[in-house]
Amino acid sequence: RGDVYLPHFSLSHLRLSSLALSVSFLRNLLLARAGHPDAMTSLVESEAHFVARAAEVRLSDASVLALRRHGFRTLGQLAYTVGQPGQLIPELEFVDWCRNHVPAATAADLASLKRLLFEAQTLALTQLRAQVTEPEAASKKVPEAERERRLQRLREDLVGLSIEGPLEPGRKLLDECAHQEALGQLKYLSPDSGVLDQSRLVIKEAHDELSMPASSALQVQEALRRRGIAYTFSQSVSWGAYDRYVTRLFAHMHRDPPPSFNRISVSQIVEADRLVFTKLIELNIKPKQSADGEKPMDRALHVALESYEVSFALMHQASKGASSTQRPWKRLRTQSQDNPGKGKDKGKKGDKKGGGKTAAPWVSIPKFIRDRGGHAATPTGEPICFTYSTHGKCTVPNCPRKHVCARCFGEHALLNHKDKE
C-alpha cells in the first residue's frame, strides 16, 4: 500500500535495489498498453517491430497469429509471459505456456519463440535501465519497422500530399519529434534542422547537428512543412492545422507595404516562427495527444501567431532609401542681411541674448558676388555654388550646391548675368 514500490530482487543487477520508484514512474514503464503513443519510440512497445522481428527469427505465421489472438502484439507484453526479465526461462513453465497458447507450434517454432522471448526480456531490462539512468536519452530513436509503417500510413492518410523529395523529413528530424512527443516537452526546431535524407549535409564538428541552408522563401517553406510532417508523424499535431499555420505565416509576404517600406522578408518569417514556438514553450503546450484525442498544438499555433510579439516581428520595415536624397539645407544668413561690417559681432551678440533662439549660420559672400547684389542661397534656402557664379564653371565632382545665378537665380552664372538681361 502507498505510493512507493520497491523493485524485485531480479532487478538488482540494474542497481535499482536501493531505489524507491513512485507509482507515477511505474505507469511510464514497459507495462503500458499496446498502441500507446509512446510506443512509437520504443523497440519494446512497437507492434511493427514485433512482427518484423518474429519474421526474422523465422517464427511461422500461424504462431504469430496465435499470439496476436491472445493479445500479444509487442515484445514488452511477451517479456512478462514466462518468468521475469533477468532470470532464466523455466523450461517446464515455458512448455506449458506454449501448449496452452500456441498449440500448433512445431519444434522450430518453439525454438524461435524461446529466442524471441529471451530477446524481449533483454530489451525490457535494457530500456528500464535507460529510463532510470538516462531518461532523456532513452528510446530516442524510432524503430525502423515502426518508422516505415507510420510513414506509409501517413502517405495513405494525406492523399493530396507527396511525402517525397523536398517534403520527405530525414530520420534525425523524425526521431527528434518523436522524442519530444514521448517526453511531452516541446523544443524549437529551426528550418536548418529539417534536413533531407538525400541532401548534402554540412557537418562542422563531430557533435554538431546536421544542417542544410534554408535561405530562400521556397526553401524555408519546404523546411517548415517537413517539420510539420515530422510532428504529424509523431502525433503531436494534425497536418491540416499545421499546414494552415504555415500558409497564414507566409501570407504576410504577399502584403503590399506602405510607401517607403519594404515587403516582409524571409528572415522576418523565420524569426516569427521562432517566436511562435517560444510562445508555445512559455505556455507549456505539450506536443502530445490528450486523453480525449485532441492535440493542443492545433489551436495553440494559431493563437501564438496572432500574439503581439509575433505581430510586431511581422511589421513592414522602413526602406533604407526612404529619406530624401537632398540635404535639408537650413536658410543661410548672409552679411547683407545685417549692417555692413557688424554682422559678425551681431551674430555673437545674438548668441548671448537670443532668448533661446539660435541665429542662422553666417556665410561670407565673395566680394565679386556681393558687389553685384548676389546672394548666398536661393529663396528656398539651398546654398549657391560661388565658384560657378564667379567663374562660370565648377570643378567639384557631384557638387551639392546649386549652379544658378547668385542674383536672379537663373540657369546661368552671375558672370553672364548682364548678357541674360
Cα–Cα distance between 420 and 409 in angstroms, integer? 12
Average pLDDT on 62-79 reads: 85
pLDDT greater than 60 at residue 203: no
Residue 320 belongs to a domain: no
Q: What is the CA radius of gyration of the chain?
A: 39
The verdict on 380 and 282 lying in the same domain is: no
The verdict on 97 and 178 lying in the same domain is: no
Q: pLDDT tens digits for 108-130?
A: 888 888 888 888 888 888 777 77
At residue 212, what is the residue type? M
Which residues touch 159 (CB under 8 Å, ≥6 apart)? Answer: none
The verdict on 40 and 14 lying in the same domain is: yes
The verdict on 371 and 226 lying in the same domain is: no
Average pLDDT on 22-28 reads: 40
Q: Which three cell numbers stand for residue 420?
A: 541674360
Q: Among 45-59, 89-103, 130-144, whose mean pLDDT is lowest?
A: 130-144
Domain span including residue 75: 4-133
Rounded to the nearest 10°, the torsion over CA 169, 174, 176, 178 is 150
Q: Where are the alpha helices (DSSP H) in 134-216?
A: 144-157, 171-183
The DSSP code sequence of 346-367 is: HHHHHHHHSTTPPPPPEEPPPH
Task: List beta partners, residue 333.
Answer: 362
Choose the final residue of a domain: 99, 133, 167. 133
The verdict on 61 and 181 lying in the same domain is: no
Q: pLDDT tens digits for 183-199?
A: 888 999 988 875 554 44
Q: pLDDT tens digits for 375-387?
A: 888 888 788 888 8
Longest dimension (CA), the chain: 129
The verdict on 125 and 148 lying in the same domain is: no
pLDDT greater than 80 at residue 308: yes
Cα–Cα distance between 110 and 114 in angstroms, integer? 6
Residue 229 belongs to a domain: yes
pLDDT at residue 305 in the model: 95
The verdict on 34 and 129 lying in the same domain is: yes
Q: Among 30-39, 111-120, 370-379, whose mean pLDDT is lowest?
A: 30-39
The verdict on 271 and 370 lying in the same domain is: no
Cα–Cα distance between 402 and 200 in angstroms, integer? 58
pLDDT at residue 194 in the model: 58
Residue 108 belongs to a domain: yes
The verdict on 64 and 157 lying in the same domain is: no
Q: Which three cell numbers stand for residue 23?
A: 507509482
The verdict on 176 and 301 lying in the same domain is: yes
Packing angle of the helix pair 47-56, 144-157 (nearest 10 deg): 130
Q: Which three cell numbers stand for residue 122?
A: 533483454
Percent of the chain beyond pLDDT 70?
Answer: 72
The verdict on 251 and 278 lying in the same domain is: yes
Cα–Cα distance between 267 and 220 in angstroms, integer? 10
Residue 94 belongs to a domain: yes
- Total-model pTM: 0.54
pLDDT at residue 56 in the model: 86
pLDDT at residue 248 in the model: 95
pLDDT at residue 303 in the model: 95
Residue 187 belongs to a domain: yes
**206 touches 182 (CB < 8 A):** no
Q: Where are the alpha helices (DSSP H) in 234-341?
A: 239-251, 266-282, 296-305, 308-313
Q: Hey, which of 17-21, 216-220, 226-230 has the most confident mean pLDDT?
A: 226-230
pLDDT greater than 90 at residue 273: yes
Q: Among 15-24, 207-216, 239-248, 300-309, whose mean pLDDT is lowest?
A: 15-24
Q: Which three cell numbers stand for residue 65?
A: 497469429
Average pLDDT on 231-258 reads: 93
Residue 49 belongs to a domain: yes
Residue 323 belongs to a domain: no
Residue 203 belongs to a domain: no
Domains identified in the chain, total number: 3
**How far are the Cα atoms of 121, 176, 264, 269, 327 from residue 259, in angstroms, in the given order?**
70, 44, 14, 21, 20
The verdict on 230 and 300 lying in the same domain is: yes
Choose the final residue of a domain: 133, 159, 187. 133
